[in-house]
């Protein structure tokens, strides 16, 4: 690797990482999803153990997950505040994806200039950028580790001395997250495509894929055995409520999918796929094609949620696009126009940046994914002013953050594994905010043992509400706010049991 390439790679990495940190620090709170991660990290810091048996979530439940990522974050919690850990470390890991992309593309094209171009573009893929910048997502670690495993698999096919590094990354991704199943499917498709395209079969590759297949199933059966037995086939969707699952696919249009990946990676990635299928036959390109095909298949079958699928697909297409970049770059060198190759690099870079800039504004203005400061103050107020054993009803996506700040029981949050009748519970807890009839509302509140109900400013805006429509002065006491200001979170105490109304 040339010294100039090292310098440029460091510069690009620092620019992407710096941009991520700068934007994350502009937001005073974390995204909703982050607080469940922070709560686990906090428990590890204080007790040394994850919170598997949780008395607060769903008013008492068992969590099933791999705590490796949480332990990793907990290490840094001893040297900086938890909220800083949640903002800095995941962004550092996510930014490292571009370094992995650089080495994959360098191996693919043997051109460090194209590798730098592709690495830079991979750092600004909109959906990956948005989904990992402020929510402490485990995908900040999983995505770079996923493609690092691909890199070592490519290198192992060339030189078997890399097999130890490959096995280490395979083991790490398997024990961290079930995304290892995506990798298994990708490698199985690779073995199939190698045979279809008439390549000489590699016994080493087949043995590695079979080992990884059995290892992934074995580890995940150990970690998620109870979830497999409890949910059976619905474990694929992590027991996500049917309504929520259908909304996640229905709410995203084809154009939004394109914009979330980025026009440049998508267009040039598709060109590279065409070249791989019909003109250029190389095993490394076939492997990357297998990754794209596996992810697309899982999205199409709705076995993978859309945002996760598009995140992996965006990075995979970005790496694939390097083949098209390389061909155009080499062609520009033989043109009579002076510095044509430099103009090509500049044009592609500018187009990628122009497509990315609106994403920054979207991130800063999209308040739907994080609690407002007013809502956080209301959650803290709950923790200071209501009995410790109380159960509070918050909207499903707010249950986790409410419990984090108040340390009070919720009725529902966004960890759905091992929760029975989740479709009914989700429907009940969302419908009550639109409920008009007192008797129906009390029936639901009494059934779930709700002592308090909170209507946050976020839900007021989302549902176009100013207050709960079913409340009366007999069965509900308004505790917060004390004044009658509008656009403030509202907290009611439930006074009535249905049979005494």
Per-residue pLDDT, 278: 85
Identify the band that residue 10 occupies on the pLDDT scale cut at 50, 70 and 90: very high
Per-residue pLDDT, 364: 85
Per-residue pLDDT, 501: 42
CATH number for 373-494 (one of 3.40.600, 1.10.357, 1.10.3470, 3.40.50): it is 3.40.50
Q: Which is higher by pLDDT, 161 or 439?
A: 439
For 259-276, how does the pLDDT look when each residue is reduced to its tens digit (9 = 90+)?
788 889 999 999 999 988
Distances (CA, A) of 102 to 105, 147, 151, 461: 5, 11, 10, 43
pLDDT of 476 strictly over 70 = yes
pLDDT of 195 strictly over 60 = yes
* Gyration radius (Cα) of the chain, Å: 25
pLDDT of 215 strictly over 60 = yes
Closest alpha carbon to 152 in 190, 219, 103? 103
Per-residue pLDDT, 452: 97
Give the C-alpha separation, 484 to 473, whole Å: 15
Backbone φ, ψ for residue 53 (5° rounding): -100, 110
Closest alpha carbon to 375 in 472, 487, 298? 487
Identify the band that residue 146 occupies on the pLDDT scale cut at 50, 70 and 90: very high
What is the rounded average pLDDT of the residues 408-426? 95
Give the C-alpha separation, 232 to 143, whole Å: 27
Identify the band that residue 434 occupies on the pLDDT scale cut at 50, 70 and 90: very high
Per-residue pLDDT, 367: 84
Distances (CA, A) of 19 to 122, 139, 262, 363: 14, 19, 18, 12
Per-residue pLDDT, 311: 94
Give 49's DSSP letter: S
pLDDT of 93 strictly over 90 = yes
Domain ranges of the chain: 3-30+64-365, 373-494
Per the prediction, the chain carries an average pLDDT of: 91
pTM, rounded to two decimals? 0.92
What is the rounded average pLDDT of the residues 423-436? 95
CB 85 within 8 A of CB 76: yes
Identify the band that residue 363 occupies on the pLDDT scale cut at 50, 70 and 90: confident
For 288-304, how does the pLDDT look when each residue is reduced to its tens digit (9 = 90+)?
999 999 999 998 888 88
What is the rounded average pLDDT of the residues 18-22? 96
Beta-strand relationship, 409-410 and 452-455: unpaired
Tokens coding 391:
């159960």
């Amino acid at each position: 690797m040339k010294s100039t390439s090292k310098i440029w790679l460091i510069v690009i990495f620092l620019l992407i990482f710096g941009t991520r940190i700068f934007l994350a620090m502009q937001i005073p709170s974390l995204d909703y999803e982050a607080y469940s991660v922070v709560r686990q990290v906090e428990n590890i810091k204080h007790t040394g153990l994850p919170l598997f048996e949780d008395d607060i979530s769903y008013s008492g439940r068992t969590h099933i997950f791999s705590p490796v990522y949480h332990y990793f974050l907990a290490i840094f919690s001893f040297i900086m505040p938890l909220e800083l850990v949640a903002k800095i470390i995941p962004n550092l890991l996510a930014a490292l994806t571009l370094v992995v992309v650089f080495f994959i593309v360098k191996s693919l094209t043997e051109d460090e200039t194209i590798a730098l171009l592709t690495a830079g573009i991979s750092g600004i893929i909109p959906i990956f950028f948005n989904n990992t910048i402020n929510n402490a997502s485990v995908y900040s670690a999983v995505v770079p580790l996923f493609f690092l495993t691909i890199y070592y698999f490519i290198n192992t096919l060339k030189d078997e001395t890399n097999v130890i590094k490959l096995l280490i990354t395979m083991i790490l991704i398997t024990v961290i997250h079930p995304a290892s199943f995506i990798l298994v499917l990708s490698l199985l498709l690779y073995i199939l495509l190698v045979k279809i395209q008439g390549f000489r079969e590699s016994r080493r590759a087949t043995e590695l894929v079979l080992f990884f297949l059995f290892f992934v199933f074995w580890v995940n059966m150990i970690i998620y055995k109870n979830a497999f037995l409890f949910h059976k086939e619905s474990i694929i969707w992590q027991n996500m409520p049917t309504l929520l699952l259908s909304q996640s696919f229905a709410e995203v249009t084809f154009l939004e999918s394109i914009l979330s990946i980025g026009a440049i990676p998508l267009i040039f990635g598709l060109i590279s796929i065409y070249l791989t299928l019909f003109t250029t036959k190389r095993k490394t390109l076939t492997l990357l094609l297998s990754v794209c095909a596996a992810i697309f298949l899982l999205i199409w079958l709705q076995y993978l949620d859309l945002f996760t699928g598009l995140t992996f697909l965006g990075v995979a297409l970005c790496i694939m696009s390097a083949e098209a970049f390389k061909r155009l770059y080499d062609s520009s060198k033989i043109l009579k126009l002076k510095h044509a190759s430099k103009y090509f690099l500049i044009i592609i870079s500018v187009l990628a940046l122009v497509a990315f800039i609106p994403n920054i504004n979207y991130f800063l203005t999209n308040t739907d994914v994080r609690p407002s400061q007013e809502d956080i103050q209301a959650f803290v107020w709950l923790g200071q002013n209501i009995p410790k054993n109380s159960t509070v009803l918050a909207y499903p996506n707010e249950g986790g953050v409410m419990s984090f700040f108040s340390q009070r029981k919720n009725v529902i949050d966004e960890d759905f594994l091992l929760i029975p009748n989740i479709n009914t519970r989700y429907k009940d807890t969302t419908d009550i905010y639109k409920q008009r009839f007192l008797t129906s509302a009390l029936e639901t509140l009494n059934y779930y043992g709700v002592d308090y109900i909170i209507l946050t400013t976020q839900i007021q805006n989302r549902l176009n509400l100013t207050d709960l429509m079913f409340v009366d002065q007999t069965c509900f006491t308004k505790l917060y706010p004390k004044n009658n200001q509008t656009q403030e979170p509202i907290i009611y105490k439930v006074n009535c049991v249905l049979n005494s109304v």
